[in-house]
Amino acid sequence: MQGFFEAQSVAVVGVSDRPDNLGRSIVINLSTFRFAGGIHLVGPRGGSFMGMPIHGSVAELPAGVDLAVMLAPARAVPGLVEDCGRAGIRRVIIESAGFGEKGGDGDALQGQLRDAAKRWGIRFIGPNCLGVMSIPNGLVVPFAPLPDIYRQGGVSVVSQSGGVGIAYLSLLAHEGLGVARFASIGNKLDVDECDLLEYLIDDPLTDIVVMYLEGVGDGRRLLRLLRSTSKPVLVQKANRGALSRDIASSHTASLAGDDAVVEAALDQGGAVRFHDGHSLANAVRALSLPAMRGDRLAVISRSGGHAVQVADSCEEHGFALAAFGPELFELIGQRCRAGVVRLTNPLDLGDVFDFDTYVDLVSAALEQPEVDGVVFLHTYTGPSEQQQSQRLIARLSELGRSARKPVAVVVVTDPEEQASLRRANGYPLFAEPTDAIQALALLRDQTRREALAPSQGPVVELDHGAVRGAMARAGERGAAVDVALELVRAAGIPTAPGRLVRSGSEARLAVRELGLPAAAKLSSPALSHKSDLGGVRLGLGTLAEVERQVRELLELLRQRAPDDPQAGVLIQPMAGKGLDLIIGARCDPQFGPVVVAGFGGVLVEIMGQVALRVAPIDLEQARAMLRGLPGSALFDGVRGGGPLDLDAAAQAIVRVGALLEAAPEIAELDINPFRIFPVGQGGLALDARVFTRALSDSSDSSDSSDSSD
């Protein structure tokens, strides 16, 4: 990837002497941002531009060109890539559109492009992209003319959309926050977000990575990379719902994934997800500050009303107001008139107008061990305090840059003045008190996350022979209930005993072995929604009742699944009282096995929420899934009942994830219900279903979505 950002010689392919030629803008950008390397122009019409000759073909270029940037008609691009290969150019950026995002002949051109690059060992970015920017060396090659307004700094941006990426850069410039690298990846036919993230993680010029994605190609690699770095990664994942899918598909040839899975994966990887420019700016401001290693804040304010707002926001975000030590009170006593300043936190400065004292108070607060971070609120309007305030903000910015603790500076003034202060100081300034506290909360949580050792995933022992045996009995679409429970049992998850019967007499024998009261349910991979068909009969108290219900169910099977050799009726003893959960997993096309857990039966409909994680997960993560569910107080017992065996459910969640990794042909598995009993009594899988997929088609996850019987 370094070849795209540190090239010493660049060829711009597709330049002409026509005024409306977009390739000329690439050359202008290289000049505007003072690229010091060699610049070579290529275009079939020849001529010259900006005093440089336009070569008629790639073959005419001098030796030693590192990078080619193409903006030519799509039909010409595969041939031009071949020409680059012959000329020894191994890095290419293709800004031309008209490929997979268009469909039709664009798909064919995309295949030709891929084949040409593969023949010559060429790595390329695009097509249908805006190119890259490397601010430190002036390698700026988008075809849109760009102003030289970007401060050099530590934020790097990877964007699937060129327009969104440029909007991010403009936002960072407006905020006075520095930029290192930028890459617009478009159709990401070769180089994708993971390739660039891996590079930026090791890039010494990059401190924070910002990503805009409409689709994720290799979710498991993305998750591994996120877990591997302590650098903050901020992600806006668009294309979240049905309304945006057609637009995104035509725009960048991406397909929408399951947004709940994306959300879980980003959270597990330690990424910060944002949804708009305001939250992006606030997150970058926060993460540009030193680490926040605790919950104790010192708040110093010129405005009593704003101090009250900060105190409210502190409580909302779990911050404590630090107790000031005697050193700070002594300084206040020396500098401020008696009775003017109330010695509390927040510290309302009242009518103290000594700006030097403001700086000294912030410095003194930072030195106190009881303080983990400082919020300073400054308000001014009009010209009377403008110059003095500008000097104050500059001094606070320098203090904040040298401090080992975060200093969040809130400036309440007119927007034009705020923008001027940001550009002048290059320090993160906040316009609203609540924004500052939200940012510090994000910084605190990120600091804590970085301090945790990354989970390596659990070591789960499965009976692989039993797993393969059960899978061999499953059909092309899935498994009957008895086989599904056998598979669950092979994963080490306790299951209710059961017997598959195909006659009334067999049912009578099964009941004598298993006991009464009993349950009888349809068992056929062709009939997954048993309850909807009247295929579950519970609380059967006599042999006669069992026999009668089994005959009815067998007749239902003859009507609904006459050609299913696996079909039968599963007889089980009724389980004791407990709390029903749904525990399941499915194979996501981008992220692989994901596990879900929620309250089972009617509760999953009432609560309306399940917890989801990308497998593998450990026991602690599984517990956190359950504790994060709305209504999790049910686990602690209700109406005099004792606490329930949460660990039994957590173990089942971990093992379900391990099962899907061990048997990748499982597209979806549901245990519903998994019943947990009081602490020490464990839990039981009472019902299960399994859908399978052909491994030759990795995109086929399952055509089923309903996870309850």
Q: Of 198, 216, 211, which Cα lies nearest the Cα of 252?
A: 216
According to DSSP, residue 181 is labeled E
* Per-residue pLDDT reduced to its tens digit, 657-675: 999 999 999 999 999 899 9
According to DSSP, residue 558 is labeled H
Could you tell me the pLDDT band of residue 461, with boundaries at 50, 70 and 90?
A: confident
Answer yes or no: is pLDDT of 250 > 70. no
Pairwise CA distance, residues 103 & 602, whole Å? 45
Bridge partners for 321 per DSSP: 297
Query: Could you tell me the CA-to-CA distances from 150 to 133, 172, 196, 419, 420 in Å, in that order?
Result: 11, 8, 21, 14, 14
| CATH number assigned to the domain comprising residue 614 | 3.30.470.20
Answer yes or no: is pLDDT of 703 > 60. no
Answer yes or no: is pLDDT of 531 > 80. no
Could you tell me the pLDDT band of residue 248, with boundaries at 50, 70 and 90?
A: very low
Pairwise CA distance, residues 181 & 139, whole Å? 9
Q: Of 58, 29, 21, 19, which Cα lies nearest the Cα of 41?
A: 58
Could you tell me the pLDDT band of residue 607, with boundaries at 50, 70 and 90?
A: low
* Per-residue pLDDT reduced to its tens digit, 95-122: 999 998 888 899 999 999 999 999 999 9
Dump strand ranges (E) for 204-334.
Answer: 208-213, 233-237, 272-273, 296-301, 320-321
User: Do both 164 and 29 map to the same domain?
Assistant: no
Lowest-confidence segment of 156-170, 237-251, 561-575 by average pLDDT: 237-251
User: Do both 587 and 639 map to the same domain?
Assistant: yes
Answer yes or no: is pLDDT of 245 > 50. no
User: Do both 24 and 168 map to the same domain?
Assistant: no
Could you tell me the pLDDT band of residue 702, with boundaries at 50, 70 and 90?
A: very low
Residue 262 lies in a domain: yes
Residue 164 lies in a domain: yes
Pairwise CA distance, residues 66 & 78, whole Å? 18
* Percent residues over pLDDT 70 in the chain: 92
Residue 259 lies in a domain: yes
Q: What is the pTM of this model?
A: 0.88
* pLDDT greater at residue 349 or residue 677: 677
Place of tokens 């399951």: 258
Pairwise CA distance, residues 470 & 472, whole Å? 5
According to DSSP, residue 295 is labeled S
Exposed/middle/buried for residue 436 (C-beta within 10 Å: 0-12, 13-18, 19+): buried
Pairwise CA distance, residues 39 & 524, whole Å? 68
Residue type, 429: L
Does the CA dihedral 220-222-226-228 come out positive or negative? Answer: positive
Check residue 698 and give its pLDDT: 43
Answer yes or no: is pLDDT of 181 > 90. yes
Lowest-confidence segment of 4-8, 242-246, 645-649, 667-671 by average pLDDT: 242-246
Residue type, 684: L
Dump strand ranges (E) for 166-223.
Answer: 179-184, 208-213
Residue 194 lies in a domain: yes
The 3-state secondary structure of 155-184 reads EEEEECCHHHHHHHHHHHHHHCCCEEEEEE
According to DSSP, residue 678 is labeled B
Residue type, 53: P
Domain encompassing residue 234:
149-288
Exposed/middle/buried for residue 504 (C-beta within 10 Å: 0-12, 13-18, 19+): middle
172: its two tokens:
């960072």
Exposed/middle/buried for residue 535 (C-beta within 10 Å: 0-12, 13-18, 19+): buried
Domain count for the chain, please give it.
5
Mean pLDDT of all residues belonging to the chain: 89
Choose one of 288, 321, 352: the last residue of a domain: 288
User: Do both 376 and 345 map to the same domain?
Assistant: yes
Answer yes or no: is pLDDT of 603 > 80. no
Exposed/middle/buried for residue 386 (C-beta within 10 Å: 0-12, 13-18, 19+): middle
Could you tell me the pLDDT band of residue 239, with boundaries at 50, 70 and 90?
A: confident
Residue 11 lies in a domain: yes
Counted residue by residue, the chain has a size of: 709
Query: Could you tell me the CA-to-CA distances from 460 to 112, 434, 597 in Å, in that order?
Result: 45, 45, 19
Residue type, 444: R
Buried b (16+ CB within 10 A) or exposed e, 405-435: bbbbbbbbbeeebbeebbeebbbbbbbebbb
3-state secondary structure of 157: strand
Answer yes or no: is pLDDT of 157 > 80. yes
Place of tokens 């606490």: 643
Check residue 257 and give its pLDDT: 42
| CATH number assigned to the domain comprising residue 563 | 3.30.1490.20
Pairwise CA distance, residues 648 & 681, whole Å? 9
* pLDDT greater at residue 499 or residue 534: 499
Residue 463 lies in a domain: no
Query: Could you tell me the CA-to-CA distances from 319 to 232, 279, 299, 311, 378 in Å, in that order?
Result: 22, 20, 11, 9, 21
643: its two tokens:
């606490």
Q: What share of the chain is helix, strand, coil (3-state, %, to 5)?
A: 40, 20, 40
Check residue 449 and give its pLDDT: 82
Query: Could you tell me the CA-to-CA distances from 651 to 149, 492, 620 in Å, in that order?
Result: 54, 9, 10
Could you tell me the pLDDT band of residue 254, with boundaries at 50, 70 and 90?
A: very low
Pairwise CA distance, residues 496 & 489, whole Å? 9
* Percent residues over pLDDT 90 in the chain: 74
Place of tokens 């903006």: 71
Exposed/middle/buried for residue 267 (C-beta within 10 Å: 0-12, 13-18, 19+): middle
Lowest-confidence segment of 255-269, 486-500, 658-672 by average pLDDT: 255-269
Answer yes or no: is pLDDT of 707 > 50. no
DSSP 606-628: HH---EEEESP--HHHHHHHHHT
* pLDDT greater at residue 344 or residue 621: 621
Place of tokens 């002949």: 105
Query: Could you tell me the CA-to-CA distances from 41 to 117, 411, 608 in Å, in that order?
Result: 21, 48, 59
Section 20-45 average pLDDT:
96
Could you tell me the pLDDT band of residue 517, with boundaries at 50, 70 and 90?
A: very high
Section 510-523 average pLDDT:
95
3-state secondary structure of 69: strand
Q: Terminal CA-to-CA distance of the chain, rounded, Å?
A: 50
60: its two tokens:
């005419």
| CATH number assigned to the domain comprising residue 355 | 3.40.50.261
User: Do both 284 and 294 map to the same domain?
Assistant: no
Q: How many helices (H) and strands (E) does the chain have?
A: 23, 31
Answer yes or no: is pLDDT of 407 > 80. yes
**Inter-residue contact 674 to 686 (CB < 8 Å):** yes
Answer yes or no: is pLDDT of 336 > 90. no
Q: Of 159, 166, 123, which Cα lies nearest the Cα of 143?
A: 166
| CATH number assigned to the domain comprising residue 90 | 3.40.50.720
The angle, 0 to 180 degrees and rounded to 10, between the axes of the packed helices 386-402 and 415-425 is 40
Check residue 332 and give its pLDDT: 78
Q: Of 505, 517, 513, which Cα lies nearest the Cα of 551?
A: 505
User: Do both 303 and 441 map to the same domain?
Assistant: yes
**Inter-residue contact 601 to 673 (CB < 8 Å):** yes
Residue 471 lies in a domain: no
Could you tell me the pLDDT band of residue 708, with boundaries at 50, 70 and 90?
A: very low
According to DSSP, residue 302 is labeled S
Pairwise CA distance, residues 47 & 49, whole Å? 7
Residue 468 lies in a domain: no
Pairwise CA distance, residues 709 & 706, whole Å? 8
User: Do both 281 and 297 map to the same domain?
Assistant: no
Section 160-170 average pLDDT:
94
Query: Could you tell me the CA-to-CA distances from 570 to 70, 491, 514, 519, 632 in Å, in that order?
Result: 65, 20, 12, 8, 32
* Cα 270–Cα 272–Cα 277 angle in degrees, nearest 5: 170
User: Do both 158 and 227 map to the same domain?
Assistant: yes
User: Do both 271 and 331 map to the same domain?
Assistant: no
Could you tell me the pLDDT band of residue 339, with boundaries at 50, 70 and 90?
A: low
Pairwise CA distance, residues 92 & 114, whole Å? 12
Check residue 533 and give its pLDDT: 83
Lowest-confidence segment of 44-53, 380-389, 462-471, 473-482 by average pLDDT: 473-482
User: Do both 62 and 22 map to the same domain?
Assistant: yes
User: Do both 271 and 327 map to the same domain?
Assistant: no
Check residue 519 and give its pLDDT: 96
Place of tokens 């989801």: 612
Check residue 696 and give its pLDDT: 56
Pairwise CA distance, residues 597 & 588, whole Å? 16
Could you tell me the pLDDT band of residue 243, with boundaries at 50, 70 and 90?
A: very low
User: Do both 339 and 253 map to the same domain?
Assistant: no
